[in-house]
Amino acid sequence: MKVNTMAEMMANGETPDILFWVGCAGSFDQRAQKITKAFATILHKVGLKYAILGKEEACTGDPARRAGNEFLFQMMAYQNIQTLNAYNIKKIVTTCPHCFNTLKNEYPELGGNYEVIHHTTLLQQLINEGKIVLKEGGSFKGKKISYHDSCYLGRANDIYEAPRKVLEALDAELVEMKRCRTNGLCCGAGGAQMFKEDEPGDKRINIDRADEALETGAKFIAAACPFCNTMMSDGVKNREKEAEVAVLDIAEMIAESMA
Amino acid sequence: MQYIQQVLFLVMAISAIAFFSKKVAEIRRNIFLGKSEDLSDNPGIRWKNVLLLAMGQRKMFKNIPVAIMHFIIYAGFIIINIEVLEIVLDGLLGTHRLFLPYLGEFYGWLINIFEWLAFGVIVVCVVFLARRNWINIKRLVNKDLNGWPKTDANFILITEIVLMSLFLTMNATDQVLQTRGDAHYMNTGSFVISSQLMPLFAGLSDSALIAIERSAWWIHIVGIFAFLNYLPYSKHLHIALAFPNAYYAKLDSVGKMKNMPEVQNEVLYAMQPELAPANAAPPASFGAKDVFDLSWKNLLDAYSCTECGRCTAECPANSTGKLLSPRKIMMATRDRLEDVGKNINQNKSFVADQKSLLHDYISVEELRACTTCNACVEACPVSISPLDIIVELRRSLIMEESNAPQEWNGTFSNIENNFAPWKFSPDDRDKWATEMASQ
């Protein structure tokens, strides 16, 4: 399965329908690479003409900005906007809510105007349009799934329903955690926390959230963010529940269930 | 004698309003010590926010029983003010129940509404005192409130109980006096709550009753004027500032951080020097070290905070035992701003005091614990953003002091050199795609 870069498409005189912004986690993190591959497989199967930036993609600058390093953020934004505008990009899909938020909300006033959608929204659209056809009696049928709201998808961008609608399409039993939707508890990774040790306290945030997810009795914890995925997986491992409870991205669940 | 009372009343009313206005002007001055920020766009949406968030208290209704109780106090406060209007006019004109002859039967109907509300306010204030002092509601017994804030909260509740009780006492004794045929005490008909208190006063002499009625009347109105002047020093100021704060609330997605055009331009000029103006001066400072560096909206936020702690209860850092408490961020900002205000009052203009919001009032450890998850912003019923302040202080820490944990310095250099927060070769960014091609 060939994944085209923008450079390759341009050389062939082609224009993609959508740019898949992979993000740093999706590109480099071994666990998140699986999400990337699952999503690319879906795009491939539904026949969407997409491309990636490949080596030309760079960190959006989200962690730098939120840590307080505006200079670094502006440098990254400048560079990315130059690249995206040079390719005349119109529409972007991303599997990372942090990239999504930055591209959608923070790049426009810096000169980067694109239609940006999160992969859960695109998946919902593809299901509604009948382009994604799911297997009868897939592996999630009737199973308990609990969806963890990512802060940068939910509170930051009001996307609560799309991921849930996608999960419902799996014929699974959706169970909500005590704190969900607007009250959802952070996984602990945002604001550049992912890249440093916790401040002194009596519990790690990801363990607190994993406990809440485990309390639901769900067999699958669905995430829609590679960082949440790491945090929740670590939390589940910490409670030695990784044999019984799997943390999966919604794209992985759909890829596995496609007819 | 009558005139002495009227003059006394006039003097008291004028001085109460004068003192209050002076303090309000001071708070206004303090708020505008912050940086300017244009928030005059989209008046339609902003008025809608005032209606829904401030008047409708929409976010309070996440917890319905508490929201209803809070609404009773709020409605009581606003509606009973109509009665206060009559009391003030009576005080100035030396009349008694001025509105009664004009309103007739409607007067009794109106007072009954006030009495129901007064009764409701007393009940709710007792419940709220219990929640604060005897039932361990986590956000209300939190260490943020140790000392003055806890006293402030209890004082407000007790004052409201006392004021309402005085109002009912005044009406009860008035009704007993009506039965004794005192012409001054015109027949009002029976009042629903205070009539239940009449037996308490039935055995007293006329003169004792008049003394109680007049004392209750005076203490009630003096109490209201005193409370008015207490407001600007108290967390209770939210009853006024919740409205402008809802109007000026952020309308963008909460995920969008405030841009720094000065940094944007610095980067632009570094990349494209031909665009740099000949006399481009570098920005004076980055982020916020002190209250002067925050926006005026951040400072309005600080004065609007009523220390309810819904933000802190929802904060993932706080609930896992970290030092950060969004409520404390707001309280510290107000404390600093008040200290700066006192400094200005004493010295005419601000004289450096070797202190700053960052470090002296808010510590690095607190700032470092924030995940920018926006739970505090979502939780706040009066549209405050503690996150805005946290982020501005973080900017100062990083860009002014180069004060970052070692791991973050590594992250920064990775982003700068490898275009990812981890130390991977940028050439491997699409390695996954190569792997897929060969599968």
Question: What 3-state DSSP class applies to B76?
Answer: helix
Task: Check whether residue B93 and residue B165 sit in a common domain.
Answer: yes
The residue among B253, B252, B286 whose CA lies nearest residue B267 is: B286
Burial class (CB in 10 A: 0-12, 13-18, 19+), A112: buried
User: Could you tell me the residue ranges of all domains in chain A?
Assistant: 6-123, 133-257
Token pair in block for residue A25: 């986690």
pLDDT at B438 over 90: no
pLDDT mean across residues, chain B: 96
Within this chain, do residues B77 and B158 fall inside the same structural domain, yes or no?
yes
Q: What tens digit of pLDDT does each residue of B313-347 get?
A: 999 999 999 999 999 999 999 999 999 999 999 99
On chain B, the residues whose CB falls within 8 A of the CB of A74 are 260, 263-264, 266-267
List, for residues B362-380, the tens digit of each pLDDT value.
999 999 999 999 999 999 9
Question: Average pLDDT of B341-357?
Answer: 97
Has residue B1 got a pLDDT over 80? no
Provide the residue range defining the domain that includes B178: 2-31+63-247
**Residues of chain B neighbouring A204 (CB-CB closer than 8 A):** 320
**Integer Cα distance of B365 and B405 in angstroms:** 10
Q: How confident is the model at residue B386, as a pLDDT?
A: 98
Domains A6-123 and A133-257 are alike in CATH topology: yes
d(CA B115, CA B195): 10
In the prediction, which pLDDT does A14 show? 96
Which residue in the block uniquely carries the two structure tokens 């009406």?
Answer: B171
Segments of chain A scoring below 50 in pLDDT = none
ipTM: 0.97
- In a shared domain, residues B113 and B230: yes
Together in a domain, B215 and B276: no
| Nearest partner of A63 among B118, B419, B45, B59, judged by Cα | B419
Residue among A1, A28, A85 with most chain B CBs within 10 A, to mutate:
A28
Residue B372 falls within a domain, yes or no? yes
Minimum Cα–Cα distance from A192: chain B residue: B371
* B270 & B289 share domain: yes
- One domain for residues B386 and B281: yes
Domain match, B438 and B363 both: no
Q: Examine the domain organization and report whether B421 and B347 are in the same domain.
A: no
Q: Which residues of A199-225 are buried (b: 16+ CB within 10 A; e: fewer)?
A: bebeebbbbbbbbbbbebebbbbbbbb
Domain A6-123 in this protein, CATH class = alpha beta
Same domain assignment for residues B352 and B435: no
Q: Pick from B370, B420, B426: which is nearest to A191 by CB?
A: B370
DSSP state of B197: G
CB contact under 8 A, B430 and A5: yes
Chain A hits for B397, Cβ within 8 Å: 68
**Distance (Å, whole) CA A61 – CA A107:** 11
Residues of A in contact with B427 (CB under 8 A): 55
B46 belongs to a structural domain: no
Distance between CA B122 and CA B125 in Å, rounded? 5
Output B77 or B305, whichever has higher pLDDT.
Answer: B305
Give me the pLDDT at residue A259, please: 87
Q: In this structure, what token pair is assigned to residue A70?
A: 């505006």
From B365's Cα to the closest Cα of chain A, the distance in A is 7
pLDDT tens-place string over residues B141-152: 999 999 999 999
B216 and B154, same structural domain? Answer: yes
Q: Six-digit token pair at A98? A: 């942090």
- Residues in chain B with CB shorter than 8 Å from the CB of A212 are none
Contact: B268, A201; criterion CB under 8 Å? no
Is residue B93 domain-resident?
A: yes
Q: What is the per-residue pLDDT for B163?
A: 96
CATH number for the domain whose boundaries are A133-257: 3.40.50
Over residues B10-68, the pLDDT tens digits come to 999 999 999 999 999 999 999 999 999 999 999 999 999 999 999 999 999 999 999 99
Q: How many angstroms away from the CA of A142 is the closest CA of chain B?
A: 31
Same domain, B356 and B390: yes
Q: How many CB atoms lie within 10 A of CB A47?
A: 9
What is the total count of domains within chain B?
3
Distance CA A46, CA A16 (A): 14
Cβ distance A37 to B432 less than 8 Å, yes or no, reads yes
- pLDDT the model gives residue B353: 96
Q: Is residue B54 included in any domain, yes or no?
A: no
Task: Note the pLDDT tens digit of each residue in A31-67.
Answer: 999 999 999 999 999 999 999 999 999 999 999 999 9
B62: closest chain A residue by CA: A183
Report CB contact under 8 Å: A71, B399. yes
pTM: 0.96
Residues 6 or more apart in contact with residue B92 via CB below 8 angstroms = B6, B9, B10, B13
Whether B107 and B202 share a structural domain: yes
Q: Check whether B82 has a pLDDT greater than 90.
A: no
Give the mean pLDDT of B396-420.
98
